[in-house]
Structure 1
Amino acid sequence: MVVCGDDALAHRIAAELREVYRERVTLVLPSGREPQRPRVLPALPGLGRATALLGRVSAAMARTSLLSSDGPGADGDEPPEEAVRILESAEADDETLIEARIPEAGALALVYDDDETNIHAALRARRLNPRLRLVIRLYNRKLGQQLEELLDQAAAVAARDDPEGAGAVDASTTVLSDADTVAPALTATAVAGTSKVIEADGLLLRAVERPPGRPGRSGPALCTLALLSPSADEPADEGGAHGGLGADDGPVMLPDDATAAAAVASGRSPVVLEAVSYAGREVRPRTLRGRGAPLGSFFSRRLRFSLAGIVGAVLALAVASTLTTGEPPLHAVYLSLLDLFAINDPAVDEPLARKVLQLLSGLTGLLLLPVLIAAVLEALGTFRSAAALRRPPRGLSGHVVLLGLGKVGTRVLARLHEMGIPVVCVEADPEARGIALARRLRVPTVLGDVTDEGVLEAAKIGRARTLLALTSVDSTNLEAALYARSLTPRLRVTLRLFDDRFATAVYRTLRAAHPRALTRSRSVTFLAAPAFAGAMMGRQIIGAVPVERRVLLVARVEARGHPELAGRTVGEVLRPGRLRVLAVDTSAPDDPGADDAPAAEQTGQEREPAHLVHELGDGYVLRPQDRVLLAATRQGLGELLGRRPVAAGIRQD
């Protein structure tokens, strides 16, 4: 695996590949000097500008025994000091890529902060190795989709020219954006209070730790993913070994139902899988088709009541005219309207009742004039302010306060709006990237510095459900969180912090100060790296769930070509400790001739969500065309996908 980048995301991806997937990694770093000979990760002090960042990566890997000197490497034939090779180069040109062994590499991640640099390097890499699996970091979605098609087409051409080479591997191209990648995890903290959420085939699932004997707030568990160590009282990210009985045994991964029930009954805490849904009040405003202004904003409530009163008065006058003069109802309404608009002849020679009704109609017409003027002014004001930012409405509660509308905040806002979750945005820059989206979606927005007094109050923070502090300044996010907690001590808070150690310190301090409130500190690189690393391993892996010092992989696999899946029941696929079926996408038709083009894809319609196991039952027989969502350990998934075995002595889970 080769990773090229110029920020913390590249280092985090390299650590993820070694820690989770046990892969050999070459890390290409930018340098102002000429490219040097490859260096290995333990020799970090001589890496110039990257010394501090790589030092933290080395320390993290040392803590997880990735670079231990008392055992073989991931493949059994590689010395541990060669775990991560470091190569310095000013740019990822042909010479650098060749020196990084791109012609023999299995996957390449290009995560430079500049889109143009990533595109140029991707084109060079595809030319050097048509069989290479590419993962590219781009913010521009449209350009990324076109680049995927171009590079996949180039790989397909190479596969036709060399069917025994390029066609034998997954030479796919995956374009990811760190903002798009972290948006689901950040959104999940607002919905479910955790970022351990997996999105696949229309399902939103989360892994959550439960104390023994408690059913949880989201309903019954779909299955048990793991049983925590008996002494695992601290969260996994707090590190350190736990003393006590069973501490050295580690968690039990993917137990069967009988084992899980017995362990929970004995007092062990399980990690269970739950379906995620938003339980708060959804906002579904009625809007004009093609417009962003709500229908009720054209006229205020007082104006609507005034118009209704005048209409009622006209009808009452028409009824009185019918009863007193004997006029037909329609003609009576017509005469009342003429009198109302003062365009009827005076009732000089008419009976007294007719004269009185005409005077009352004229008086009603005088009352109608200011109402009509107010209606016109309000309608003009509505159209004039349709492009303006909406203010938070009165009585709003249970909403999410979103601080910062940059790249990440804009993506999170879009996802929250899609889920129907009420949001109030706070942004200091009126020209920020997400302001246009907030205006178009008619999302209430407060313009102002969140550190100024009164800004959070204007966002109704006192009645909010969650605070998402996603600005690009750590101190601003922390100050906003502390001030919000002073107003609402039990407010759910999620902070975006760039420095991992600072994020850990903030998390522990806030948790100690507010033990009953949910606090999450998140780093964008920490959340995005697993998705990039998973894409480098192949499109089957869609997520990873950490359990103490181990990890569970979530993969999407088609049953065809896997004897362990096709033709077997869901219950038979279960392999305790290694493999478990979570859900099955059964949308593909039964006709074998249409397997390669499912009906949903042919017609372009949206796929239905996959069926969870409890919906299908353990007796469901997997068809070859079914797509199966699996939870597996590295060893179980490696055996299923036929990857190379991992040497004995290396922890598999």
Structure 2
Amino acid sequence: MIDTAAPPGDRSFVIIGETNLARRVCASLREGSHSVQHLTEPRDDELREAMTPTPDAVAVLLHDDVAALRYALAVAHMSAHVPITVTIFDRTVADELLRLLPQCHVTSPADLAAPALAGPCVDAAIVALQRKDGLTHAIRVLDGEPSRTQPWNPEPIGWRSRFGRLAGQLRPHDAGTRIMLTGLLGMLTVFIGDLAWLLAHGHHPAQALFDAARVVATVGPAAAPAHSTAYPVLASAAMLSTIVFSAMFTAGIIERMLGPRLVGLIGPRTLPRSGHVIVVGIGQVGLRLCGELRRLGIPVVGVERDPDAPNVRLARTLGIPVLTGHGGDRATLEKLHLHQARALAAVGSDDLDNIALAIAAHGVSPGTRVVLRAGEHEAIAETRSLLPLGTIRDVTSLSAAYVLARLLDTPATSVIAYRHRMFVELPTGTFAPWPLAARQGCSHVDVALTG
């Protein structure tokens, strides 16, 4: 588990984790002739042995926040001053770790990738969108190299977008909502029809309103003239149909109250109809991307197969509408108005699902821009072959470049990708290319464990 091939005198590092990120960082450090001790799930005695003598830095690169917190605290207990870089998704846990261990640098692959994903979602010419000092900056490419431009301002909301938001109100998005709105519309139709009949036949408006309400409540129609038989027949038919409509409305209300209510009927959580971004996969990366786009003023809607997924509840609290369904289904993409969307981002954790989704999206709307998360799966680690499908963002490579820079004492503030090259941003605002080794260069973790 300990690499002894590195020449003496070079820097030494301890990497904890069996993730693809850990393998990529380990391989890049070994390629730089540094000494690396890569531990997957070390016991306390193994970790103590690896920390003797004290390494130059430690990286804890896990998917489990609790395990990452535990290892970071153990490393700090064994060596109070060694620099530690930890990946933690939950911001509450990250803030608590920073409070306990000031020498610790905490980051999240989702936070690192969100600006690089948001850029091409908004505009194909933007490499990344970053928030600095309360302003949003667009990273574009000038003379073949990324360069920060002037602060980016969102496009003004045109009449088409305003109409799209208005048309999205009271729009049924599932069977329960459709039943509820059908029942409501039926009762309103009976009420308005009965009210119009009574007003047309000379009834006082107040009395006509009262009698129409009696019909909808199925407690009896208004008194009709003795020679008239049409109104009693129509009122009877209206009351009988109201029984059906009220049952439908009640059933829809109950289902909506007991369900997760991931999409609103009125307000900001309704489904947008044009100029929006569709984010498929509400994991850590998808949730961060949705939040970033919302902060930029871009309408966004999420798609998640599992309505009970942990981040779906968080998306609801953030005011992000989430449609339950399979993003690769043609019916789902058409329901989300893919042909009128600004872009579709396939950011699920499974590369194969993302590729299938990109192909489905091209079949439904060839002109819609697709942003694809890839690079995790062993079989398609080379993402250049995926270029025809859309803009590719390798979250593992972005995170590996940033973590590697921090381990080597480079004060990186962010990381971006351009044409399969990684660039870290320096405090001066410039971007430095940051080459990475293939993760196959790490021999400490079996490839089968991370496939």
TM bin (shorter chain) = 0.5 to 0.7
Conservation of the 8 A alpha-carbon contact between 2:398 and 2:422: no
In structure 2, the residue matched to 1:186 is 117
Shift of 1:543: 1.6
Shift of 1:406: 3.5
Conservation of the 8 A alpha-carbon contact between 1:3 and 1:10: no
In structure 1, the residue matched to 2:425 is 553
Shift of 1:381: 0.7
Conservation of the 8 A alpha-carbon contact between 2:315 and 2:322: yes
Answering whether residue 383 of structure 2 is matched by residue 504 of structure 1, we say yes
SS in 2 for 1:490: coil
Instruction: Give the letter aligned to residue 118 of structure 1.
Output: A
Residues 394, 286 of structure 1: alpha-carbon distance in 2 compared, 3 angstrom cutoff = closer
Residues 321, 445 of structure 1: alpha-carbon distance in 2 compared, 3 angstrom cutoff = closer
Conservation of the 8 A alpha-carbon contact between 1:402 and 1:468: yes
Q: Percent identity?
A: 22
In structure 2, the residue matched to 1:333 is 206
Residues 119, 304 of structure 1: alpha-carbon distance in 2 compared, 3 angstrom cutoff = same
Shift of 1:492: 0.9
**Residues 144-543 of structure 1: matches in 2 within 5 Å?**
144-152=94-102, 171=103, 173-193=104-124, 194-209=126-141, 228=143, 271-279=147-155, 281=161, 283=165, 300-301=184-185, 303-313=187-197, 320-321=202-203, 333-334=206-207, 337=210, 341=214, 355=225, 365-366=235-236, 369-370=239-240, 372-373=242-243, 374-375=245-246, 377-386=248-257, 387=259, 396-416=273-293, 421-429=298-306, 432-436=309-313, 443=321, 445-448=323-326, 450=328, 456-457=333-334, 459-497=336-374, 498=376, 502-508=381-387, 510=388, 519-533=390-404, 541-543=412-414
Conservation of the 8 A alpha-carbon contact between 2:14 and 2:39: no
Instruction: Give the letter aligned to residue 504 of structure 1.
Output: T
Residues 382, 191 of structure 1: alpha-carbon distance in 2 compared, 3 angstrom cutoff = farther
Instruction: Give the letter aligned to residue 523 of structure 1.
Output: D
1:7 to 16, 19, 24: 19
Cα shift readout 1:290-340 (whole Å, capped 9, x = no counterpart): xxx99x9596556545544444555666xx356xxxxxxxxx724873697
Distance 1:448 1:550 in 2: 32
Shift of 1:87: 2.0
In structure 2, the residue matched to 1:631 is 429
Q: TM-score, normalised by structure 1?
A: 0.48
Residues 496, 321 of structure 1: alpha-carbon distance in 2 compared, 3 angstrom cutoff = closer
Instruction: Give the letter aligned to residue 345 of structure 2.
Output: L
Shift of 1:111: 0.8
In structure 1, the residue matched to 2:60 is 110
Distance 1:394 1:138 in 2: 31
Distance 1:307 1:339 in 2: 6
Residues 2, 271 of structure 1: alpha-carbon distance in 2 compared, 3 angstrom cutoff = same
Distance 1:311 1:10 in 2: 71
Residues 190, 13 of structure 1: alpha-carbon distance in 2 compared, 3 angstrom cutoff = same
Cα shift readout 1:150-208 (whole Å, capped 9, x = no counterpart): 334xxxxxxxxxxxxxxxxxx3x343332343234323332234443322333221211
Q: Larger relative contact order (C-alpha < 8 A, sep ≥ 6)?
A: 2
Cα shift readout 1:478-520 (whole Å, capped 9, x = no counterpart): 2332332244333211122125974432244x17xxxxxxx21
Distance 2:67 2:221 in 1: 82
Instruction: Give the letter aligned to residue 191 of structure 1.
Output: V
In structure 2, the residue matched to 1:119 is 69
SS in 2 for 1:385: helix
Distance 1:447 1:278 in 2: 30
Shift of 1:278: 4.9
Shift of 1:525: 0.9
In structure 1, the residue matched to 2:446 is none
Distance 2:214 2:315 in 1: 44
For structure 1, list consecutive stretches of 5 or more residues without a partner in the other structure. 19-24, 26-40, 42-57, 59-66, 68-82, 153-170, 211-227, 233-250, 252-269, 288-292, 323-331, 348-353, 512-518, 556-629, 635-653
Cα shift readout 1:587-609 (whole Å, capped 9, x = no counterpart): xxxxxxxxxxxxxxxxxxxxxxx
SS in 2 for 1:208: strand
Shift of 1:399: 3.4
Distance 2:323 2:422 in 1: 42
Instruction: Give the letter aligned to residue 353 of structure 2.
Output: T
Cα shift readout 1:538-570 (whole Å, capped 9, x = no counterpart): 897422457898956353xxxxxxxxxxxxxxx
Cα shift readout 1:263-296 (whole Å, capped 9, x = no counterpart): xxxxxxx845143455474858779xxxxx99x9
Conservation of the 8 A alpha-carbon contact between 1:336 and 1:361: no
Instruction: Give the letter aligned to residue 175 of structure 1.
Output: V
Residues 377, 96 of structure 1: alpha-carbon distance in 2 compared, 3 angstrom cutoff = closer
Cα shift readout 1:452-487 (whole Å, capped 9, x = no counterpart): 665544554344332222233323322332332244
Rg larger for: 1
Distance 1:297 1:102 in 2: 69
Instruction: Give the letter aligned to residue 445 of structure 1.
Output: L
Distance 2:147 2:430 in 1: 14
Distance 1:314 1:102 in 2: 93
Distance 1:521 1:321 in 2: 68
Residues 444, 480 of structure 1: alpha-carbon distance in 2 compared, 3 angstrom cutoff = same
SS in 2 for 1:206: strand
Conservation of the 8 A alpha-carbon contact between 2:286 and 2:347: yes
Distance 2:422 2:247 in 1: 66
For structure 2, list consecutive stretches of 5 or more residues without a partner in the other structure. 1-11, 171-176, 433-451
SS in 2 for 1:377: helix
Conservation of the 8 A alpha-carbon contact between 1:464 and 1:491: yes
1:129 to 56, 79, 85: 79
SS in 2 for 1:144: helix
Instruction: Give the letter aligned to residue 7 of structure 1.
Output: T
Distance 2:296 2:182 in 1: 26
Q: Report the aligned-residue RMSD.
A: 4.8
In structure 1, the residue matched to 2:37 is 87
Distance 2:220 2:284 in 1: 64
In structure 2, the residue matched to 1:55 is none
SS in 2 for 1:186: helix
Conservation of the 8 A alpha-carbon contact between 1:496 and 1:522: yes
Distance 2:89 2:327 in 1: 26
Conservation of the 8 A alpha-carbon contact between 1:87 and 1:100: no
SS in 2 for 1:631: coil
Distance 2:291 2:212 in 1: 53
Distance 2:256 2:220 in 1: 39
Distance 2:195 2:327 in 1: 47
